[in-house]
């Protein structure tokens, strides 16, 4: 994509799944893989969706219209979510980015629409708070964040919280967003996944 898009979706699917039996991205809920649920939820709200994966998984994702699979840039490969965000921002210019972790499969199109309503060019990030927990991997980031992302990575500061303290961030409570708190469920281990499957 050569021209700057209005909004790009970033699906972070390059984690190690160390507490999960198999790869989280390919776990299934309601007959759809986790990554496909997030991609579908983003589709109506972004001009392009970028899925950031590991090299050993890239070939397993199905290619489809408006979805591009990339890996972390070499210099920051494996350095966590911030590296994935940087890699997508560097390759795909946009005004705003909707960042979603692949292990939050209950976030649907309506939830993303609610989050986007808080997009404001006077701030650099819009981050939900759910039960007093900050959710930086279900959030909006303006392209102006890019220099700060790079600076944090260069300094070896890979924590999302360190990055958020370096940009102008608006924290929005889930109640203010109007998104049920269960939509932010993080399905990152087998017991949580098995509990989710019982609801399927």
Q: How many CB atoms lie within 10 A of CB 20?
A: 18
- Ligand-binding annotation for 12, yes or no, is yes
Query: How many angstroms separate the Cα of 194 from the Cα of each of 29, 92, 129, 137, 189?
Result: 10, 36, 25, 22, 9
3-state SS, residue 112: helix
- Ligand-binding annotation for 190, yes or no, is no
- Ligand-binding annotation for 21, yes or no, is no
Q: Which helix (H) or strand (E) holds 193?
A: helix 190-199
- Ligand-binding annotation for 72, yes or no, is yes
CA count, 13 A, side-chain hemisphere, 2:
0
- Ligand-binding annotation for 24, yes or no, is yes
Q: Which of 141, 37, 129 is nearest to 86 (CA)?
A: 141
| Rounded distance between C-alpha atoms, residue 139 and residue 145, angstroms | 13
- Ligand-binding annotation for 13, yes or no, is yes
- Residue ranges at the known binding site for Mg(2+): 103
- Residue ranges at the known binding site for GTP: 12-14, 24, 72, 103
- Residue ranges at the known binding site: 12-14, 24, 72, 103
């Amino acid at each position: 994509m050569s021209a700057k898009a209005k909004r790009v979706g970033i699906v972070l699917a390059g984690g190690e799944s160390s507490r999960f039996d198999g790869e989280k991205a390919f776990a299934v809920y309601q007959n759809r893989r986790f990554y496909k649920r997030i991609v579908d939820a983003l589709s109506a709200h972004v001009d392009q969706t970028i899925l950031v994966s590991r090299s050993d998984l890239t070939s397993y994702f199905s290619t489809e219209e408006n979805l591009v699979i990339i890996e972390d840039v070499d210099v920051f490969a494996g350095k966590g979510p911030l590296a994935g965000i940087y890699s997508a921002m560097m390759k795909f210019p946009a005004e705003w980015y909707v960042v979603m972790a692949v292990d939050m499969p209950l976030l649907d199109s309506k939830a993303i629409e609610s989050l986007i309503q808080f997009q404001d060019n006077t701030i650099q990030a819009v981050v939900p708070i759910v039960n007093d927990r900050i959710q930086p991997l279900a959030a909006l980031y303006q392209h102006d964040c890019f220099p700060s992302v790079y600076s944090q990575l260069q300094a070896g500061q890979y924590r999302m919280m360190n990055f958020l303290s370096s940009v102008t961030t608006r924290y929005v409570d889930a109640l203010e967003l109007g998104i049920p708190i269960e939509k932010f469920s993080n399905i990152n281990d087998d017991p949580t996944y098995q509990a989710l499957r019982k609801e399927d």
